[in-house]
Structure 1
């Protein structure tokens, strides 16, 4: 038998029965699979167990830690590496081959991963590429700690990044990300994210030293997030400079909705400031 990759795949879920089997179908080469469930009331847990995955049951109390950090701190991976994967993210053999090579590099402690997003039923080949720091050595990273007591309803780290103790590389082979459950769900999700971002912006203003670990991209975003031009800058950058126009109508609408998202954050920040 082929030796399995020494990686724990950790999949945070809630009611992901529609996607989970397809995701798990691609994971036969990995040594451990853990599904971290937040009280699903569909067949998510049964599907996970049918594939031999370890199921961890998470209940958030509204405080630190949230879902990913809770798993790392309380029911940690058994493998030397951990890869966080969403149920609607699907890997292929090209990614597994690239991952196998990356794991042989003893100088790296984490890797940025690349994704192919889909919108309105079409893959987005251009525009601002999605990247996540979702693969790292077990014990070498935790996600950012953010004071969310009393103001956040999101039980999983969303825009928080892992803080890694060591050098970081990148795996270029993309993961197929089909995060599309209809336009209504897309809008609802980004409404929740906008509320979270506006509240986090206020928290960062109270404690600027908490930005010390930010990436360059994070620093740019939070430095300019409340400025009037930022949503239009995002649209022009992703649609023109990053050639999102080549994705046709899907590329235009995606850039437009993301600009609406950043405009919503800006107005929420203004609203919060007026209330203080």
Structure 2
């Protein structure tokens, strides 16, 4: 077949996983323009490892001891990269040709050390076009920094940085073409992992209160607002009103209502854990 093929994108894709046989195939299938893909597994008991191998990805096993570093920082600290950038994807995230095109253009000649990424979110089988937009700093230059160092002691079963953000030395850009965020594991898995998220958030809140929130200069504005108010009685209702009414989640129908409701439930759970710890 003749024709011109695009040059491999100058970023290594790193996908942290555990038991992701349902989501991983669609994620890997979209990564043909990346020269190197690493799947970092936590002893999956399903076909995750086989799927990674079948798709030509490098499979790396990670075993967490409950302390720093977690999976993403461990990768940044221990792995050798042949590309100047690292793109962290979750198994339920799928890049589009438009994203890859914009990425190629952005990385061709940039002084930025990281890029904010945007996401198209789905819940209960429907795209959420409104509500609080999902945005992550998940593309970074090798050697520019790491995710926040948080000295936890097995606050939850989370062996990967979820709420931690990268702390990078340099300017940050943005890729506007969104990544598709589709999780095929259902609401039961959503609730299961958000219980772990809630345990971690409550422990993080307690640690920040103990050390003094003003001393945590590495927090983003969004993080600072959250941890200043997470334990207050009005925060879950505030989030629901903000996401569902002010940000238009109501226009996403049943899916928008469920998503706002479950997020409010999540913040209520965190608040209850904080109150329990104080008692």
TM-score above 0.5, yes or no: yes
Corresponding position of 2:118: 114
Which of 163, 175, 180 aligns to 1:176? It is: 180
Which structure 2 residues correspond to residues 77-88 of structure 1 after superposition, within 5 A? Answer: 77-88=81-92
Task: Answer yes or no: is 1:198 the counterpart of 2:213.
Answer: no
Deviation at 1:200, TM superposition (A): 0.8
SS class of match (1:127)? coil
Corresponding position of 2:149: 145
SS class of match (2:236)? helix
Structure 1: distance between partners of 2:95 and 2:215: 34
SS class of match (2:91)? coil
SS class of match (1:31)? coil
Which structure 2 residues correspond to residues 1-276 of structure 1 after superposition, within 5 A? Answer: 1-208=5-212, 211-274=216-279
Gaps of 5+ in 1: none
Task: Please identify, of 244-253 and 41-50, the stretch whose mean Cα deviation from structure 2 is larger.
Answer: 41-50
SS class of match (1:82)? strand
SS class of match (1:239)? helix
Deviation at 1:150, TM superposition (A): 4.1
Task: Please identify, of 172-181 and 89-98, the stretch whose mean Cα deviation from structure 2 is larger.
Answer: 172-181
Structure 1: distance between partners of 2:16 and 2:256: 28
2:87–2:140 contact (8 Å) kept in structure 1: yes
Length-normalised TM-score, structure 1: 0.96
1:14–1:44 contact (8 Å) kept in structure 2: yes
Deviation at 1:135, TM superposition (A): 0.3
1:180–1:186 contact (8 Å) kept in structure 2: no
Deviation at 1:105, TM superposition (A): 4.3
Count residues with an aligned counterpart: 274
1:7–1:79 contact (8 Å) kept in structure 2: yes
Structure 1: distance between partners of 2:109 and 2:126: 35
Length-normalised TM-score, structure 2: 0.95
Task: Please identify, of 101-110 and 24-33, the stretch whose mean Cα deviation from structure 2 is larger.
Answer: 101-110
2:155–2:199 contact (8 Å) kept in structure 1: no
Gaps of 5+ in 2: none
Deviation at 1:175, TM superposition (A): 0.6
Deviation at 1:152, TM superposition (A): 3.0
Structure 1: distance between partners of 2:207 and 2:175: 33
